Amino acid sequence: MPVEQVDGRVYLNHPKGSCAELLLYGATVISWKSATRNSTQPVEHLFVSSKAALDGSKPVRGGIPVVFPCFGAPVHPEHSRLGQHGFARSEVWKFDSIVMDNDAGVSVRLTLEPTASIKAKYDKSFHLAFVVTLAEHQISTDLHVKNTSTSTVYPPDSLEFQTLFHNYIRAPASEVLVFPLQNVSYYDKTESTEEVRTTAKTETRAGVDVRRFTDSVYEDAPQKYEVNWPGGGVAIKATNLKDVVVWNPGKESGSKIADMEDGGWVCVEPGYVRGFT
């Protein structure tokens, strides 16, 4: 079966051997395997911490969590009652439909609308559709946001939000390099003062590494990235996601995160997080 649903999980299987697994909780992709140029057998491309909760008790530490409607701590007045990264990654989504099932690929659509728990902290009307498409050598994640307000007042009820795909890529953190971010403006969230954290820098490195604690938000980035390491690599292409975050807390900072393990991974996260759309 190309698509299976079992106990709150959705399994995608491509006829050429690639496969993916996602949770209805958070619409989080927790596995993507495909053959590579170095392996004819499917290889896992995503990192999920061995300490991650997969039972719906808290957002998953790893995979591809969906961030909406705010990135990080909320700063928009309409998001003041929300927690870190909003609510999309901590709500149970509905399985909507199989979008595609052929030799090219298999894809499914999950949806999320305001629930009682969401309405208690966020009073906007919306419809989210998350489409995951598995092909022989790639996976695509698409988030469609619709303002469903029926208000007749003028000006019309707006829906301002931030969004991001929090990709955890399985890679040797000490050897990985991310391209091409040279000459792109970024904000270094590891700096010790708010003044410096909110002052733009210009990336001078041809390849960005994560050998030490890294938490950088690149603004108006190229939307095509290469994550390379000796013997492997992943290409990331984004559309309508003008920013990208490169993150790895390293051993010292990572040890302060209860569900994190020290291991080989880097987060390269396309999103719209500088300003609101």
138-195 tens-digit pLDDT: 999 999 999 999 987 766 789 999 999 999 999 999 999 999 999 999 999 999 999 9
pLDDT tens track for 26-83: 999 999 999 998 888 999 999 999 999 999 999 999 999 999 999 999 999 999 999 9
Residue 162, annotated ligand binder?
Answer: no
277: in domain:
no
Q: For residue 24, give its domain range.
A: 3-272
189: in domain:
yes
Q: Respond yes or no: is residue 79 known to be catalytic.
A: no
- What pLDDT score does 181 carry? 98
Domain count for the chain: 1
- Per DSSP, helices labelled H in the chain are 116-119, 194-197, 250-254
142: in domain:
yes
30: in domain:
yes
Write phi, then psi, for 9 (nearest 5 degrees). -120, 150
Catalytic residue among 21, 91, 203, 269: 269
CB-CB contact of 113 with 147 (8 Å) = no
> Which CATH number covers residue 252?
2.70.98.10
Residue 84, annotated ligand binder?
Answer: yes
Q: Is the dihedral of CA 25, 172, 107, 1 positive or negative?
A: negative
Q: What percent of the chain has a predicted confidence (pLDDT) above 70?
A: 99
Residue 61, annotated ligand binder?
Answer: yes
Provide the pLDDT confidence category of residue 127 given band limits of 50, 70 and 90.
Answer: very high
Catalytic residue among 45, 85, 166, 203: 166
CB-CB contact of 28 with 85 (8 Å) = no
105: in domain:
yes
250 burial class (0-12, 13-18, 19+ CB within 10 angstroms)?
middle
If you average pLDDT over residues 7-23, what whole number do you get? 96
Q: Respond yes or no: is residue 269 known to be catalytic.
A: yes
47: in domain:
yes
